């Protein structure tokens, strides 16, 4: 039987961690420079929300299914390497955008590269680690996320203030191309089912429709999917607009806002992911329901903490509250990814991972920032007394040379709009918590049906 040394598995996790760090560096780098892009190219919040949300999510999600099916049949490490190459090239091209259409097109291209990461990686982890260690392994990979958040937000904020927002995309795209080459040359494809008790999968992968029907027949998995969709809406909306919130509300510079974004999201994400992965794996040894109780408790605590954080009058008190909120929020993430693996057998893991990616991507990434951008424009217009907010404050500011009174009115309305929109999105987290709590009722029984043989036609 094929085996892999502890050193190789550590190298695998390291490569996947760095790859994930680059993905998050791009997304948070985009978040950090979004206000600079908005002002430079005169975009509305709705346009920025579309670029960061639905425009990114459509192909990211739709390509996930063919990539997941491809990962069930072919070499997963090659898929990951190729996706990284596309990602790096398209991130670099974002630096050349001069219009909404071009930037949207290049962000769609970035999403194509991102789409090749989740399902193949989840499937690889399922083959390299047994059930009781998968959440921990996924947590190690996802600890690359806070690293990427710190790099992307700090670098993006500094670049936007001292060089240009375009330089931030070049600085992230080139390493993506380098890592793609390293992954292609060093990663190896494992035998499927290698870490399962019963050994390798006995049959070919069943059709995706069969896998989906199998998952949706489990009531707990239905609640998990709904819960992670709602949590992802709130998480992506808040994450993509947190830097503009800090800039507009507390009148910070781009570099300082980037540093605070890295402190809030980076530090808290590391703590939340570790707690959700290692903590839940430990608690799950005593009761498997902790895989949904943990996310439910975290989301219940996160919602009021966000509401408090967005309502603070000083940046210091806001940062403290928002850090606590982010720690609680990120607890839900890795247990959800682990459940997608633990609910199915070895020949269904990539398809199961795609199902979760579909929810996280199309619903979370697609709806979250897009909805927040629309809400921010709506609330901002309602708070703008002088007249038509969109015409008088293009890009959130009046045309150059206008009176300072109008500048102040535009700035105040923009700050009010984004504050109220961020608070509105926090409510999704409480709704998500309800579904994770409901999932606990049938989780243990549903896990017993994990390895039921499925027909292939």
- Tell me the average pLDDT across 353-358: 81
pLDDT at res. 450? 58
Judge whether residue 134 has pLDDT over 60. yes
In a domain, 196, yes or no: no
- Tell me the average pLDDT across 411-425: 94
Number of domains in the chain: 1
- Tell me the average pLDDT across 292-299: 94
CA 432, distance to chain mean position in Å, is: 16
- C-alpha 55/C-alpha 165 separation (Å) is 20
Longest CA–CA span in the chain (Å) reads 75
pLDDT at res. 282? 87
Q: Which two tokens stand for residue 319?
A: 């940062």
Percent of the chain with pLDDT over 70: 91
For residue range 214-270, what is the model confidence (pLDDT) as tens digits?
888 889 999 999 999 999 999 999 988 998 999 999 988 889 988 898 888 877 887
In a domain, 289, yes or no: yes
Of 302, 300, 292, give the one whose Cα is nearest residue 335.
292
In a domain, 54, yes or no: yes
Burial 273-309 (b: 16+ CB within 10 A, else e): bbbbbebbbebbeeebbbbbbbbbbbbbbbbebbbbb
CATH of the domain at 286: 1.20.1250.20
For residue range 38-81, what is the model confidence (pLDDT) as tens digits?
888 888 888 988 898 888 888 777 787 788 778 777 888 899 99
pLDDT at res. 457? 43
pLDDT at res. 56? 81
Centre a 10 Å sphere on the Cβ of residue 456 and count the other Cβ atoms it contains: 11
pLDDT at res. 226? 95
In a domain, 1, yes or no: no
- C-alpha 74/C-alpha 76 separation (Å) is 6
pLDDT interval class at 144 (50, 70, 90) = confident
For residue range 7-37, what is the model confidence (pLDDT) as tens digits?
888 898 889 999 989 988 998 899 889 989 9
pLDDT, averaged across the chain? 85
Judge whether residue 199 has pLDDT over 50. no
pLDDT at res. 371? 93
Q: Which two tokens stand for residue 222?
A: 């239905």
- Structural domain span for residue 137: 6-190+205-447
pLDDT at res. 329? 94
- C-alpha 164/C-alpha 396 separation (Å) is 19
Percent of the chain with pLDDT over 90: 40
pLDDT interval class at 1 (50, 70, 90) = very low
193 Cβ contact list (under 8 Å, min separation 6):
127, 199, 200, 201, 345, 346, 347
Q: Which residue has the higher pLDDT, 55 or 131?
A: 55
pLDDT at res. 106? 93
- Tell me the average pLDDT across 348-353: 75
For residue range 421-456, what is the model confidence (pLDDT) as tens digits?
999 999 999 999 999 999 999 888 888 775 545 444
Q: What is the dihedral of CA 333, 136, 111, 59, to 10 degrees?
A: -70
- Tell me the average pLDDT across 129-133: 68
In a domain, 438, yes or no: yes
pLDDT at res. 76? 85
In a domain, 234, yes or no: yes
Centre a 10 Å sphere on the Cβ of residue 75 and count the other Cβ atoms it contains: 14
pLDDT at res. 93? 94
Question: Which stretches within 163-289 are classed as H helix?
Answer: 165-186, 208-216, 219-250, 254-261, 268-274, 280-284
pLDDT interval class at 314 (50, 70, 90) = very high
Judge whether residue 395 has pLDDT over 80. no
In a domain, 198, yes or no: no
In a domain, 454, yes or no: no
- C-alpha 187/C-alpha 321 separation (Å) is 41
pLDDT interval class at 400 (50, 70, 90) = low
Q: Which two tokens stand for residue 306?
A: 């966000």
- C-alpha 333/C-alpha 344 separation (Å) is 18
């Amino acid at each position: 039987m094929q085996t892999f040394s502890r050193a190789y598995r550590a190298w695998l996790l390291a490569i996947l961690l760095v790859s994930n760090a680059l993905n998050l560096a791009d997304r948070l780098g985009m978040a950090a420079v979004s206000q600079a892009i908005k002002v430079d190219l005169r975009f509305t919040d709705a346009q920025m929300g579309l670029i960061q949300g639905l425009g990114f999510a459509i192909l990211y999600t739709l390509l996930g299914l063919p990539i997941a099916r491809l990962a069930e049949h072919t070499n997963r490490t090659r898929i990951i390497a190729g996706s990284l190459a596309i990602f790096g090239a398209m991130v670099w091209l974002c630096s050349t955008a001069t219009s909404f259409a071009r930037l949207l097109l290049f962000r769609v291209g970035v999403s194509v590269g991102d789409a090749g990461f989740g399902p193949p990686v989840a499937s690889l982890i399922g083959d390299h680690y047994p059930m009781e260690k998968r959440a921990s392994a996924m947590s190690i990979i996802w600890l690359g996320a806070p690293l990427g958040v710190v790099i992307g937000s700090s670098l993006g904020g500094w670049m936007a203030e001292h060089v240009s927002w375009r330089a931030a995309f070049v600085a992230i795209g080139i390493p993506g191309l380098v890592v793609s080459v390293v992954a292609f040359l060093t990663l190896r494809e494992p035998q499927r089912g290698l870490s399962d008790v019963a050994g390798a999968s006995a049959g070919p992968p069943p059709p995706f429709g069969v896998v989906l029907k199998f998952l949706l027949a489990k009531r707990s998995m239905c609640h998990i999917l709904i819960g992670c969709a709602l949590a992802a809406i709130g998480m992506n909306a808040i994450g993509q607009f947190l830097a503009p919130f800090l800039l507009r509300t507390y009148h910070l510079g781009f570099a300082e806002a980037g540093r605070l974004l890295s402190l809030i999201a980076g530090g808290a994400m590391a703590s939340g992911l570790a707690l959700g992965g290692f903590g839940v794996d430990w608690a799950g040894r005593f009761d498997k329901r902790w895989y949904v109780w943990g996310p439910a408790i975290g989301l219940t605590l996160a919602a009021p903490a966000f509401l408090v954080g967005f309502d603070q009058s000083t940046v210091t008190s806001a940062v403290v509250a928002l850090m606590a909120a982010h720690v609680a929020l990120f607890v839900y993430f890795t247990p959800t990814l682990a459940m997608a693996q633990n609910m199915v057998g070895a020949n269904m893991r990539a398809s199961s991972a795609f199902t979760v990616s579909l929810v996280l991507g199309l619903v979370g990434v697609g709806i979250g920032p897009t909805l927040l951008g629309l809400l921010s424009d709506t609330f901002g217009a309602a708070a703008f007394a002088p007249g038509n907010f969109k015409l008088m404050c293009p890009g959130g500011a009046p045309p150059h040379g206008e009176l300072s009174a109008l500048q102040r009115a535009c700035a105040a309305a923009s700050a009010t709009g984004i504050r109220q929109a961020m608070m509105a999105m926090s409510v999704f987290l409480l709704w998500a918590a309800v579904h994770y709590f409901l999932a606990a009722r049938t989780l243990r029984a549903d896990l017993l049906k994990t390895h039921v043989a499925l027909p292939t036609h």
